[in-house]
Structures are given as C-alpha cells and as structure tokens.
Amino acid sequence: MAIRLEDKKQIVSEVNQAAASALSAVLADYRGVNVDELTALRKTARENHVYLRVVRNTLLKRALEDTDFECIKDVLAGPTLLALSEVDPGAAARVLKDFAKENNDFEIKALSVGGKLLDANQIDVLAKLPTLDQARSMLMSVMLAPITKLARTANEVPSKVTRVVAAVRDQKKEAA
C-alpha cells in the first residue's frame, strides 16, 4: 500500500523524535506473529514506557539519521519492529525478550545502546540491567551498610564488657 509523502515525513519525524530521546533500541522480525499477539505486545510496551513501531526500513534509515541509533542501518532487512526504551535502558529488551520466549516466530535482530550496535545474542546483557527503582534500592543498601556495621561494632563493646564481668564473677564463685 502506497504511503503519501506527507505521511512518510510525519512517520520519519515522529520516529526521529522518539529515537533522539531514547536510551536504547531493539530491532525484531515479527513475521509469523498474529495481530492479537502484537496487540498484547503493544500493551505491554506501553505499560513499560517502550515506544513500539513497525516502520519501513527506508523510512527508518532516514528517521535514525543524526541519532545514537544510526548504527542500526546495517541490519535493516525484512519486516522490522522497532522498540525504543524511553525511561529505563533495559525496558525494551525485557519486553521483547519475554515476548520472544512465548512466540517462537518472533526473532530479535539486533540492539543498540550508546551508539553501539550489539548482536541479538547479547540481549540478556541489556535485559538484566536493573530498573531505576532497583538501582536506587541497591545504592541505598550500599550506602547503609557502613552505618549498620558501625552500629553493630559500637554495640559490641558493651556486650563484651558484660560478658567479661560475668565470666570473672563465675570464676570467683567457683573459686570460693
């Protein structure tokens, strides 16, 4: 189906704006996936703040110019589904990886982070990145550890003195 020039310009502009503010990108081949499954994928993507779009490769090449994801141009072949992480760098990878587990026909082609093109088998590296909340909790636990250790150490001194006094008392009772 032919797309009008104005519509093509709008698609390129929209994808370019999304890519300019995105943290990571994942490309997938969606052949063999039915409409209901893609609708469920889109819903999951929206819930995880992932921009999901099926775009013609020629338009996608133009849309990715002057963005960090320009390196993706080399792997554009066949039907392409573009997923861009807007808030969390690993969100798109997690969403598409989980979807690929459930659908054998769905294939992840490549991913890009920070202007570098990564192979599809490295999706786990990106998918296992902690979310923002998880990263914050990890940071807080690391910051809290020295204070906790100091409190335990400070509490240990009086309990050692108490144990020594009790041992001396018991020793004197036995001697008497």
Same domain, 98 and 151: no
CA distance 138 to 151: 20
Residues of the chain with pLDDT under 50: none
CA distance 126 to 97: 10
Q: Which helix (H) or strand (E) holds 20?
A: helix 5-21
Per residue in 23-35, pLDDT tens?
Answer: 888 888 888 878 8
Same domain, 33 and 96: yes
Number of domains comprising the chain: 2
Per residue in 72-94, pLDDT tens?
Answer: 877 787 788 888 888 777 888 88
Same domain, 84 and 162: no
Same domain, 120 and 157: no
Amino acid identity, residue 147? I
The pTM assigned to this predicted structure is 0.67
The answer to whether residues 90 and 132 touch, using CB atoms and an 8 Å cutoff, is no
